[in-house]
Amino acid sequence: MDPALLRERELFKKRALSTPAVEKRPASSESSSHKKKKTKVDKESSSSSKHGAESSNGNINIKTSSGYKFGCLAKIVNYMKTRHQNGDTHFLTLEEILDETKLLDISMKQKQWLMTEALVNNPKIDVRDGTYGFKPKYNLKDKKALLRLLDKHDQLGLGGVLLDDVEEGLPNSAKAIKALGDQIIFVTRPDKKKILFYNDKHCQFAVDEEFQKLWRSVPVDSMDEEKIEEYLKKQGISSMQETGPKKVLQVQKRKKQGGQRKRHFKTHNNHLAGVLEDYSDGVPAKK
């Protein structure tokens, strides 16, 4: 073998051994850093989600507790209304109410809230000596009481009474209304609610058919109250507002202020006070 080539080979080996070689791994380092970042983000997201879950659970607990509290109140009021409509109008203690509504698992704090705030301040609950009963708008015992109420409304010009209010305050209202028969008139409002009126048979009279035709021939569907009043004035007919009793407005007198100063008027000719004489009566006044 050529000795020159051998020398070059030995020199190359020496140079290779004297120069340190560093091996780089870019792919593996990037993947490890990405994994570290990913684990850090996962930890942060898990901690935030845990904190959010805890806060949301706290809100849910608050909402469910307040919702349960008012749900118990609504259940009690509905039960008291139902038993009143069935004729059970006697008053009950809170323990009896909770027993009949099966609300025995409520806490002492909720019982205290019912006794001191909820039931006392509820407009549909009547409280008497620590007992509770239902308080309807119209407390009616029987059909005669209903008829007297409708007659009173008719005499005072108060109009009718809602069927819902009658059913709320009259035990077995359907049976009583059916027994009254044609003594009651039903009128259905546009919102589908029914109104009860007293049917005063003394006011019933026969109207000539000609007048009925004239009455029905007047178109008033597209006219409001102001247009009808204007039309009546043109025809020389006064409206009900003018013929009705007029309200007299009471004018309040202004109170005199106690600390108001008296006005002082300036006088003239003070130097002639002893010389002037009064001739208003024709005779000079004597001094």
Domain assignment present for residue 167? The answer is yes
Range of the domain at 89: 56-134
Domain assignment present for residue 284? The answer is no
User: How confident is the prediction along the chain (287 residues), in pLDDT tens digits per residue?
Assistant: 577 777 787 877 777 777 665 555 555 555 555 555 555 555 555 555 554 544 444 444 444 467 888 888 899 999 988 888 888 888 999 999 999 898 888 888 888 898 888 888 898 898 888 899 888 888 888 889 888 998 888 888 888 888 888 888 888 888 888 888 888 888 888 888 899 898 887 777 778 888 888 888 877 767 777 887 888 888 887 755 544 455 555 555 555 555 555 565 556 666 666 666 666 666 555 54
Report the relative pairing of strands 184-188 and 194-198 from DSSP bridges. antiparallel
The model's pTM: 0.47
Domain assignment present for residue 88? The answer is yes
Residues 73 and 96 in one domain: yes
Residues 197 and 148 in one domain: yes
> Residue 99 to residues 80, 104, 124, 126, 257: CA-CA distances in angstroms?
13, 6, 20, 19, 65
Residue type, 198: Y
Cα dihedral 166/167/171/175 (nearest 10)? 100
Nearest to 122 by CA among 67, 166, 72: 72
Domain assignment present for residue 216? The answer is no
Beta strands in 129-192 (DSSP E): 131-134, 161-162, 184-188
Q: Number of C-alpha atoms within 13 angstroms, CB side, residue 176? A: 20
Tally of domains in the chain? 2
